């Protein structure tokens, strides 16, 4: 088994994480050494004991008693140290893995948002949960079995050589046979296993897609075609799975066979040695139990190496995330705005998600304190991008954004973001109580303040109807609330935080029309004196805006008040009228 350089590097890096637990590591190694040596001593002692019981009238009871006491002591010692070994390795592994997991999670908060937007969430979660679990299994097995395995092999060799060189050599020559058989089987199995895993993945993917869309399947009467496709994959899975299972299940009987041959050879050789007087029956019994045990560590090590390789591959996936470049650090002495007026200026802002496709080139804008800015335009025109830049979720490629004349890059990110209250189309709540979710931005808020915010967001009445009122735990993914109710909670969250500026990105898209009117009123009250940015694709709410930005393909192509823009008869005019175009034709 060649350990590639890649594996060595990963291993070295992984071991760095065990450094805080070096003391435990040393204790674990020591326990392993003692327990293995004592375990190996037991067959020798049993052999000695057997030699005390030769035949009728020839039993040396004093020697037997003494040997049995030794056996008892060795067994007890071995048991204690075996347990200690397991205990220490558990401790090292799970603590190490915990540190690794926490660091990986920490990375989630330091990478640029671009990374999160581009990463499949399932993949990231799988790294945090499954990959780290693999690493933990690998470490656990590696620490316990790899080390004890090596010690066992070496120890057995020494003990056997000490007892009888020739029989020891016989065992020594024959055991590689079992390794050879095992690796031959493993190689052949691997091919089928890989095939099986690939098809199993294909099958799971298909099941996932079809079952998740089962309602669609039914509405299109697609059941039979789906079943046929599934059966085709299923049949292939059977063919490959049956072979994989059969070949892999060969390894146990085959190594057992080799073991039996070694056992027979040792028995015969030992017996003949005993006949010629160079060995005792007790030593035969010792050799027999060694012969039984000797191949075990070899097989285990083969297994561990495969497992370690899986663990290294997983560790590599974890490290890949850790190596992602982090966001630029905040300036050392960030500018602070204790009394933010809400004046915003964008000058010559340049930005694109993909360098090959320029999006915003030279965007200029001056926003007076307390004004309400509505952003409109067709899907994908850059409305949300503007918000990403204001909040510094993404950094501008050129130009600058200033709040009250201060470049946002001179502030800390948290300082800048605390100036804005944000409600997005996708309402996000965490799995805590309703109260804690509303108080997310101000955990120290009193219950009165929380209810006041909920009332302002028209959420109070439905919250009171929930089984535990404000203490109701929001189920995973907010399952026990409707989309609209979730959005109302997000609105209450911002109302409680009361920031100097507001960003509403389709904030009422999931709320039914009548509640929307009420929430809209609450927003209007909140927006008084606060600079607000509003993205809406319902043009009906836009008429009160102080300034409408019409965006198309990353550029602000028109700006002004509603009536001014209509008079221009430009892009906005067409956009606004398109919603009635159909009806015009009819009329």
Partner 1 sequence: MWKLKRFLGQFKKHLILGPLFKWIEAVLELLVPLVMAKIIDDGVAAGDSGYVLWMGGLLVLIAAVSLGCALVCQYYASIASQGTGTILRREMFAKVGTLSHAELDVFGPHSLITRITNDVNQLQLAVAMLIRLVVRAPFLAIGAVVMAFTIDVQLSLIFVIAFPLIVLVLYLVMSRSVPFFQVMQKKLDRISLLTRENLEGARVIRAFSKQASEQRRFAEASDDVADTAVRVGRLSALLNPLTMLIMNAAIIAILWFGGFQVDTGRLTQGEIVALVNYMNQILLALTVVANLVVIFTKASASAARVNQVLEMKPSVREEQTAPVSLEESAPFLSFENVSFTYPGSAEPALSGISFALNRGETLGIIGGTGSGKSTLANLIPRFYDATSGHIRIGGRDVRSFPFAQLRQLVSVVPQKAAVISGTIAQNLRWRDEDASDGDLWAALKTAQAADFVEKLPYRLESRVEQGGKNFSGGQKQRLTIARALVHSPALLILDDSSSALDFATDAALRRALKQETAGMTVVLISQRASAVRSADRILVLDNGEPAGLGTHEELLRTCPVYREICLSQLTAEEVSK
Q: Does 256 bind partner 1 (CB under 8 A)?
A: yes
- Minimum distance of partner 1 from residue 54's CB (angstroms): 6
Q: State the CB neighbour count (10 A cutoff) for residue 344.
A: 23
* First-to-final CA distance of the chain: 81
3-state SS assignment for residue 394: coil
491 contacts 423 by C-beta, under 8 angstroms: yes
Site residues for partner 1, window 520-549 (CB under 8 A)? 537-540, 543
Written as one string, the DSSP assignment of 485-520 is: HHHHHHHHHHHHH--SEEEEESTTTTS-HHHHHHHH
Quick one: 449 exposed, middle or buried, by C-beta within 10 A (0-12, 13-18, 19+)?
A: middle
Within 8 A by CB and 6+ apart from 45, the residues are 67, 70, 71, 74
Binding pattern to partner 1, positions 494-523, x when CB under 8 A?
---x------------xxxxxxxx------
Residue 120, helix vs strand vs coil? coil
Q: Does 166 bind partner 1 (CB under 8 A)?
A: no
Q: Which of 22, 364, 553, 579 binds partner 1 (CB under 8 A)?
A: 579
Candidate ranges 17-25, 199-207, 402-410, 457-465; the one touching partner 1 (CB under 8 A): 199-207
Span 330-389, contacts to partner 1 by CB under 8 A: 378-380
Of the candidate residues 29, 157, 265, 278, the single one contacting partner 1 (CB under 8 A):
265
Q: Which of 257, 322, 366, 407 is in the footprint of partner 1 by CB under 8 A? A: 257
- Single residue of 154, 246, 362, 564 touching partner 1 by CB under 8 A: 246
Question: Least Å distance between CB 207 and partner 1?
Answer: 5
Helices (H) and strands (E) in the chain, counts: 20, 10
Among 29, 66, 90, 445, binds partner 1 (CB under 8 A): 90
344-351 and 398-403 beta bridge pairing: antiparallel
Q: Does 324 bind partner 1 (CB under 8 A)?
A: no
Question: Which listed residue (66, 317, 413, 561) binds partner 1 by CB under 8 A?
Answer: 413
Short-list 489, 444, 498, CA closest to 470 = 489
- Closest contact distance (angstroms) between CB of 445 and partner 1 is 13
Q: Specify the stretch interacting with partner 1 by CB under 8 A; choose among 26-34, 258-266, 316-324, 553-561.
A: 258-266
Q: How many CA within 13 A on the CB side of residue 314?
A: 24
Sole window of 3-11, 150-158, 284-292, 360-368 interacting with partner 1 (rule: CB under 8 A):
284-292
CB of 533 to partner 1, least distance (A): 13
Least distance to partner 1 from the beta carbon of 348, Å?
A: 26
Tokens linked to 335: 């500018």
Distances in whole angstroms, Cα of residue 26 to Cα of each of 35, 79, 92, 340, 342:
14, 19, 11, 58, 60
Residues from 35 through 64 that contact partner 1 (CB under 8 A):
42, 46, 49-50, 52-59, 61, 64
Complex with partner 1: residue 180 or 580, whichever CB lies closer: 580
Q: Does residue 82 belong to the site contacting partner 1 (CB under 8 A)?
A: yes
Q: How far is the CB of 43 from partner 1 (least distance, A)?
A: 10
Paired tokens of 264 = 């027979």
Figure out which of the listed residues 5, 12, 19, 215 binds partner 1, where binding follows CB under 8 A: 215
Q: Which of residues 287-306 bind partner 1 (CB under 8 A)?
A: 288-289, 292
Residues 6+ apart with CB under 8 A from 326: 107, 110, 111, 112
Q: How far apart are CA 82 and CA 305, in angstroms?
A: 22
Q: In Å, how far are 258, 260, 296, 479 from 293, measured between CA atoms? A: 12, 11, 5, 55
Stretch that binds partner 1, among 125-133, 147-155, 300-308, 363-371 (CB under 8 A): 125-133
Work out which of 161, 203, 337, 410 binds partner 1, going by CB under 8 A. Answer: 203
Counting contacts by CB under 8 A, is residue 417 touching partner 1?
yes
Q: Contact region for partner 1 (CB under 8 A) — 65-73, 309-317, 355-363, 399-407?
A: 65-73
Q: Is 186 near partner 1 (CB under 8 A)? A: no
- Binding-site member from 23, 220, 364, 405 for partner 1 (CB under 8 A): 220
Please name the residue that has the structure tokens 């509603």.
562
Binding of residue 133 to partner 1 (CB under 8 A): yes
Number of residues counted as binding partner 1 (CB under 8 A) = 157
97 belongs to the binding site for partner 1 (CB under 8 A): yes
Nearest 5°: phi and psi at 367?
-115, 125
DSSP 8-state symbol, 425: S
Q: Which residues pair with 473 in a beta bridge?
A: 433
Verify binding: residue 232, partner 1, rule CB under 8 A.
Answer: no
Query: What's the min distance (Å) between Cβ of 99 and partner 1?
Result: 9
Q: Quick one: which H or E segment has residue 401?
A: strand 398-403
Q: What is the DSSP string of 140-151?
A: HHIIIIIHHHHH
Instruction: Count the Cβ atoms, other than its own, within 10 Å of residue 586.
Output: 6
């Amino acid at each position: 088994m060649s350990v590639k350089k890649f594996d060595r590097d990963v291993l070295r890096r992984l071991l760095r994480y065990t450094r805080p637990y070096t003391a435990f590591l040393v204790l674990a190694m020591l326990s392993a050494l003692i327990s293995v040596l004592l375990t190996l001593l037991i067959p020798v002692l049993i052999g000695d004991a057997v030699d005390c019981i030769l035949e009728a009238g020839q039993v040396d009871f004093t020697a037997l008693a003494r040997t049995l006491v030794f056996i008892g002591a060795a067994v007890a010692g071995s048991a204690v140290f075996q347990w200690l070994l397991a205990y220490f390795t558990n401790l090292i592994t799970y603590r190490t893995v915990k540190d690794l997991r926490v660091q990986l999670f920490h990375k989630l908060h330091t990478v640029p948002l671009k990374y999160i937007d581009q990463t499949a969430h399932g993949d990231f979660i799988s790294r945090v949960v499954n990959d780290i679990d693999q690493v933990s299994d690998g470490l656990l097995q590696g620490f316990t079995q790899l080390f004890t395995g090596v010690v066992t092999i070496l120890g057995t060799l020494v003990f056997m050589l000490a007892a009888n060189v020739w029989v020891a050599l016989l065992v020594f020559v024959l055991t590689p046979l079992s390794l050879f058989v095992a690796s031959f089987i493993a190689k052949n199995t691997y091919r089928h296993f890989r095939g099986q895993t690939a098809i199993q993945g294909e099958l799971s993917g298909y099941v996932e897609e079809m079952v998740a869309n089962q309602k669609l399947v039914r509405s299109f009467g697609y059941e039979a075609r789906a079943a046929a496709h599934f059966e085709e994959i299923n049949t292939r899975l059977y063919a490959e799975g049956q072979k994989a299972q059969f070949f892999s299940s060969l390894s146990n009987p085959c190594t057992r066979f080799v073991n039996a041959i070694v056992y027979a050879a040792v028995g015969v050789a030992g017996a003949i040695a005993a006949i010629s007087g160079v060995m005792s029956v007790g030593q035969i019994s010792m050799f027999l139990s060694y012969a039984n045990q000797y191949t075990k560590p070899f097989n285990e090590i083969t297994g561990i190496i495969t497992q370690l390789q899986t663990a290294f591959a997983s560790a590599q996936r974890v490290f890949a995330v850790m190596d992602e470049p982090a966001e630029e650090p905040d300036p050392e002495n960030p500018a602070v705005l204790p009394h933010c007026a809400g004046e915003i200026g964008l000058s010559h802002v340049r930005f694109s998600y993909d360098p090959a496709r320029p999006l915003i080139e030279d965007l200029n804008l001056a926003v007076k304190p307390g004004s309400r800015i509505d952003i409109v335009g067709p899907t994908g025109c850059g409305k949300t991008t503007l918000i990403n830049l204001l909040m510094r979720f993404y950094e501008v490629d050129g130009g600058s954004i200033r709040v009250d004349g201060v470049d946002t890059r001179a502030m800390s990110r948290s300082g800048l973001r605390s100036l804005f209250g944000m409600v997005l189309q996708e309402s996000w709540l965490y799995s805590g109580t309703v109260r804690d979710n509303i108080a997310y931005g101000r955990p120290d808020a009193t219950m009165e303040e929380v209810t006041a915010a909920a009332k302002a967001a028209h959420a109070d009445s439905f919250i009171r109807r929930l089984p535990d009122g404000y203490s109701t735990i929001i189920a995973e993914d907010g399952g026990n609330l409707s989309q609209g109710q979730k959005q109302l909670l997000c609105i209450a969250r911002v109302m409680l935080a009361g920031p100097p500026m507001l960003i509403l990105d389709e904030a009422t898209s999931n709320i039914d029309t009548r509640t929307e009117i009420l929430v809209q009123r609450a927003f209007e009250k909140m927006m008084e004196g606060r600079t607000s940015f509003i993205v809406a694709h319902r043009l009906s709410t836009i008429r009160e805006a102080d300034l409408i930005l019409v965006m198309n393909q990353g550029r602000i192509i028109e700006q002004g008040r509603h009536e001014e823009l209509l008079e221009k008869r430009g892009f906005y005019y067409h956009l606004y009228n398109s919603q009635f175009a159909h009806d015009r034709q009819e009329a």
